[in-house]
Amino acid sequence: MGDYFERIVDVEVTAEEAGPLAERMVDWMVAEGLITRELSGDGVFSHPVREGYVRGPNWARAVADSSNRDWLPGPVAVIVGRNYYVCGQGADEASCAVCPRCQSKTVIINYPYEFERDDEVWQPFEDGIAAWKETGEGSAPCSTCGASVPVTQWQWEPGFAVGALAFDFWDWPELSASFCATFSRQLGHRTVEHGGKV
């Protein structure tokens, strides 16, 4: 199986709300039987979080296909605090981002011609994200329309997200679309889902 994760990031919650909201989500998942309150560090690589909640008796309700009886999911780690998330192995940037004001796309890694980021293009985004992590506010200018767009409003490629609350499902079969929709409704915010391997 390897160390796969599927991640749901709340891209709207503030850092101040994230802690209490994380507790409410854990309460809800425990009540639904998806997880228990028992913590385990087995197969959890959600830096800086070292432990996750062990699967509950009803874990299969969250996944698209639970027919493989040998596949038992690992813990669910909850990460609170402003952070950016990348699903690609070794990647530390978004490959592109779309400006919400003018809809133009800024290309950071010019796939399939290049496999390295354009540092000059990425730098303002990196700076904006660093400022947001530090203070809760940070933006990067759109090179097309000139607008200074908050990093939480840029439409990142699906493998990249910025948010103050994330849930890592370690070694779970694919989460069902209906579960992800319910999860997002429980959060009361827009979410981004992606997966990867460490």
> Phi/psi of residue 19, each to 5°?
-60, -55
User: In whole angstroms, how close is the CB of 95 to Zn ion at the nearest point?
Assistant: 18
Binding status of residue 145 toward Zn ion by CB under 5 A: yes
Quick one: which of 14, 58, 135, 144 contacts Zn ion (CB under 5 A)? 144
Judged by CB under 5 A, the stretch of 13-21, 34-42, 133-141, 143-151 that binds Zn ion is 143-151
The strands making up 191-197's β-sheet, listed across from edge to edge, are 35-40, 52-55, 76-86, 160-170, 4-10, 191-197
* Other CB atoms within 10 A of residue 103 CB: 11
- The SS3 of residue 112 is coil
Q: Which of 157, 139, 135 is nearest to 147 (CA)?
A: 139
Judged by CB under 5 A, the stretch of 28-36, 79-87, 106-114, 142-150 that binds Zn ion is 142-150
Judged by CB, which is closer to Zn ion: 9, or 142? 142
Judged by CB, which is closer to Zn ion: 150, or 196? 150
Residues numbered 3 to 32 that lie near Zn ion (CB under 5 A) are none
